[in-house]
Amino acid sequence: MPQAVPTTSRATELFEQYQSDLHQRTDRLFAGLLGFQWIAGILFALWISPLAWSGTVSRTHVHVWAAIILGGIINLFPAALGILRPGRTSTRFTIGVAQMLMGALLIHLTGGRIETHFHVFGSLAFLAFYRDWRVLIPATIVVALDHLLRGLFWPQSVYGVFVASQWRWLEHAAWVVFEDVFLLMSCVRGLAEMRQTAERTAALEQEVRTRQQAENDERALASLTSAIGLALTRGTELRAMLQQCTEALVKHLDGGLSRIWTLNDAERMLELQASAGTHTQLDGPQAKVPVGVLSVGMIALERTPRLSPAEQIDPHLDDALWARREGMVAFAGYPLLVDSKLVGVMTIFSRREYSSSVQATMAAVADGVAVGIERKRAEAELKRRARDLEEAHEIQRTHALQLSALVDQLRVTQRHAEAATRAKSDFLASMSHELRTPLNAIILYSELLQEEAEDSGQQGSITDLQRIQSAGKHLLELINGILDLSKIEAGKMSLSIETFDIRTMIDELLDTAAPLVQKNNNRLNVHCEDTLGAMNSDLTKTRQILLNLLSNAGKFTRDGVITLDARHSTLAGRPCVEFAVTDTGVGMTEAQTEKIFEPFTQADVTTTRKYGGTGLGLALVSRFCQLLGGSVGVQSAPGEGARFVVRLPTAGHDSSVDTGAPARVA
């Protein structure tokens, strides 16, 4: 049931309307009645005493004139009021008085007949139609006064007798008052019922209105929810999405102005993103509101919704003035929270009060909008990240392209270098061929001439011829050495890997090496481990390495001892055989040992002339050791001899060191 309190004003309004209707209706009723009374009064007069006789002369009785004139005055004026001014209090009172005066006239016209007095009672009953007991007061007074005065001065007119008791008016008045009491009670009860009816009607109206309002609200809320849902799920930008939300709030909730701010976390600042209704611009004075300032800022700070009359929002601004002018009634502001994290504020000024269901819906909308903002931000963040990633990829791609270009360039450079090396190698190969051919003739001739000189006993020229032969052989060694080095450089030095017994290899080697070592009156010592066994490597190059080292030692040692040691060891974790050639010769400085394995870098340029040799022997040793996956090192000091240590893997020669298939050089 609706509350009585809010219906009172409407009930009073209805009650007054009922009363007014009743008064007007009754006024019109009396207008007719008064007119009828006038006619009836005239007819009474004509019927009872139409003529006044004075002898045979008759004339119209004075009563007839009284009925016409007095009755007219009494009846027609209030009747006119009843028609022209119905509902007025004065009309009512006038009619009440007129009705009593007409009663008095009728009593007089009927010669004070007691039956005619009932007109008074009837009139009072009719006046009670007004449900206004005050009307009875002047009427009753008029009756009482009439009876008192006429009873005193003209009893015949009122009681139909010439003499009457001076208290008879009291009896009549008492009867009238007696009736008045009941009529008064009737009036009061009637009014009470009328009031009750008014209240019931008002309550009914209120209920109907409430129900209609609820239905309207429900429809509006359904539309709002769907509009918000659509706005939140559409793939638009953040601002467009929020603008659609504010527009939906204004449209479906009778909103006058709806706005949404988002929180800029870094600056603790609310930034206006959407505004719909009376204001749509986003660059006004509230475009940026710090948290804690104004109602919007307070909602953000306190993180609680605010519902209040529109006029109480920021009254120190012009907002209150604006609210009054625009007819704004209510204000609702909601913090936009996602998992208790503030992302913004949503506000609505409205032209009507919001029901609890509307408030609940707005709270739900606020939640939805908050999630929407968070999602849009996450999407923007994702997009930004994706763009960064794309840029990073782009950079990476560019780098890869640059790298690829660089590699291409490098490949070209390498090809050029290889071509150059090949060209050099080809040149050297063909040079060596061109050098060997005449050298072949020189050596053959020098040997031929030696033989012939020996036959003919020309001892003198033999020495010269031997020198020619020796120089030729030296030249040949040089050519061979250069050719070997260039083959290694060109990657054309091929290996011939086989398994051979180390001890046997050393014994065979010594046949060739011994004369070279011992030529400067040196002694050769060989120390081999008993369990040397076999190794898997290139036999020729291994021999070449040891031969070059021994020959080298023999060259730089005079009247000394040269020792060859062979034993097992390890090299980079793999089994190897270690050959050490130690001499007691001239030795070298540290600077000399550093470049001893470079071609043509014997201790100094005069060394070759002094000690002989090609200057290529140790360079070849170093290159061969590399080819075989091994290493060579030297320890020496001036005057203290030198110790060369070679380590070669005994097994599983790394084929990657192999320099590739041999190619024919024309």
Partner 1 sequence: MDRRSPATILVVEDHEASRDALSRRLERRGYRTVLAADGHEAVSKGRSASPDLILMDLGLPGIDGYEATRQLKGDPSTARIPIIVLSAHAMTNDRDMALAAGGDDFDTKPVRFQQLLEKIQTLIKSQGSSLNSQ
Distance in angstroms (rounded) separating the CA atoms of residues 649 and 573: 10
Considering only residues 61, 251, 377, 436, which one is a binding residue for partner 1 as defined by CB under 8 A? 436
Considering only residues 68, 445, 544, 633, which one is a binding residue for partner 1 as defined by CB under 8 A? 445
Q: How far is CA 44 from the centre of its chain?
A: 100
- Residue 333 exposure: Cα atoms within 13 Å on the Cβ side: 23
Residue 530 exposed, middle or buried by CB count within 10 Å (0-12, 13-18, 19+): exposed
Determine, following the binding rule CB under 8 A, whether residue 663 of this chain makes contact with partner 1.
Answer: yes
Determine, following the binding rule CB under 8 A, whether residue 432 of this chain makes contact with partner 1.
Answer: yes
Q: Which stretch binds partner 1 (CB under 8 A): 96-104, 326-334, 380-388, 436-444?
A: 436-444
Considering only residues 106, 227, 370, 429, which one is a binding residue for partner 1 as defined by CB under 8 A? 429
Considering only residues 51, 448, 651, 657, which one is a binding residue for partner 1 as defined by CB under 8 A? 448
Q: Which stretch binds partner 1 (CB under 8 A): 29-37, 71-79, 480-488, 511-519?
A: 480-488
Contacts (CB under 8 A) with partner 1, residues 573-632: none
Determine, following the binding rule CB under 8 A, whether residue 478 of this chain makes contact with partner 1.
Answer: no
Residue 514 exposed, middle or buried by CB count within 10 Å (0-12, 13-18, 19+): middle
Determine, following the binding rule CB under 8 A, whether residue 407 of this chain makes contact with partner 1.
Answer: no
Considering only residues 43, 405, 444, 657, which one is a binding residue for partner 1 as defined by CB under 8 A? 444
Least spacing, CB of residue 484 vs partner 1, in Å: 8
The β-bridge relationship of strands 269-277 and 288-290 is antiparallel
Supply 448's token pair.
Answer: 């031929």
Distance in angstroms (rounded) separating the CA atoms of residues 594 and 598: 9
Cβ proximity to partner 1: between 206 and 480 the closer is 480
Looking up tokens 């360079």, which residue turns up?
619
Determine, following the binding rule CB under 8 A, whether residue 426 of this chain makes contact with partner 1.
Answer: no
Determine, following the binding rule CB under 8 A, whether residue 471 of this chain makes contact with partner 1.
Answer: no
Contact assessment for residue 593 and residue 575, using Cβ atoms and an 8 Å cutoff: no
Determine, following the binding rule CB under 8 A, whether residue 453 of this chain makes contact with partner 1.
Answer: no
Cβ proximity to partner 1: between 62 and 444 the closer is 444
Distance in angstroms (rounded) separating the CA atoms of residues 452 and 257: 131
Cβ proximity to partner 1: between 76 and 442 the closer is 442
Q: Which stretch binds partner 1 (CB under 8 A): 22-30, 51-59, 253-261, 658-666?
A: 658-666
Contacts (CB under 8 A) with partner 1, residues 492-531: 492, 494
Considering only residues 476, 576, 628, 646, which one is a binding residue for partner 1 as defined by CB under 8 A? 476
Q: Which stretch binds partner 1 (CB under 8 A): 114-122, 144-152, 209-217, 487-495?
A: 487-495
Determine, following the binding rule CB under 8 A, whether residue 480 of this chain makes contact with partner 1.
Answer: yes
- Closest to 568 in 3D by CA, of 531, 622, 527: 531
Q: Which residues pair with 499 in a beta bridge?
A: 536
CA dihedral (419, 422, 426, 427) in degrees, to 10, reads 70
- Closest to 172 in 3D by CA, of 109, 111, 103: 103
Supply 593's token pair.
Answer: 């040992």
Cβ burial 400-427 (10 Å sphere, 16+ → b, else e): eeeeeeeeeeeeeeeeeeeeeebeebbe
Determine, following the binding rule CB under 8 A, whether residue 285 of this chain makes contact with partner 1.
Answer: no
Contacts (CB under 8 A) with partner 1, residues 14-43: none
Distance in angstroms (rounded) separating the CA atoms of residues 262 and 343: 6
Contact assessment for residue 259 and residue 289, using Cβ atoms and an 8 Å cutoff: no
Least spacing, CB of residue 451 vs partner 1, in Å: 6
Cβ proximity to partner 1: between 585 and 599 the closer is 599
Considering only residues 433, 467, 519, 595, which one is a binding residue for partner 1 as defined by CB under 8 A? 433
Determine, following the binding rule CB under 8 A, whether residue 665 of this chain makes contact with partner 1.
Answer: yes
Considering only residues 447, 508, 529, 658, which one is a binding residue for partner 1 as defined by CB under 8 A? 447
Considering only residues 55, 283, 656, 664, which one is a binding residue for partner 1 as defined by CB under 8 A? 664
Least spacing, CB of residue 613 vs partner 1, in Å: 19
Least spacing, CB of residue 436 vs partner 1, in Å: 4
Distance in angstroms (rounded) separating the CA atoms of residues 279 and 326: 12
Q: Long-range contacts: 116-121, Cβ < 8 Å, 24+?
A: 117/172, 120/176, 121/175, 121/176, 121/179
DSSP state string for 495-528: --EEEEEHHHHHHHHHHHHHHHHHTTS-EEEEEE
Determine, following the binding rule CB under 8 A, whether residue 472 of this chain makes contact with partner 1.
Answer: yes
Cβ proximity to partner 1: between 150 and 487 the closer is 487
Contact assessment for residue 11 and residue 198, using Cβ atoms and an 8 Å cutoff: yes
Considering only residues 438, 533, 639, 652, which one is a binding residue for partner 1 as defined by CB under 8 A? 438
Cβ proximity to partner 1: between 136 and 620 the closer is 620
Determine, following the binding rule CB under 8 A, whether residue 468 of this chain makes contact with partner 1.
Answer: no
Distance in angstroms (rounded) separating the CA atoms of residues 663 and 421: 14
Per CB under 8 A, residues contacting partner 1 are 429, 432-433, 436-445, 447-448, 451, 472, 476, 480, 483, 487, 492, 494, 662-665
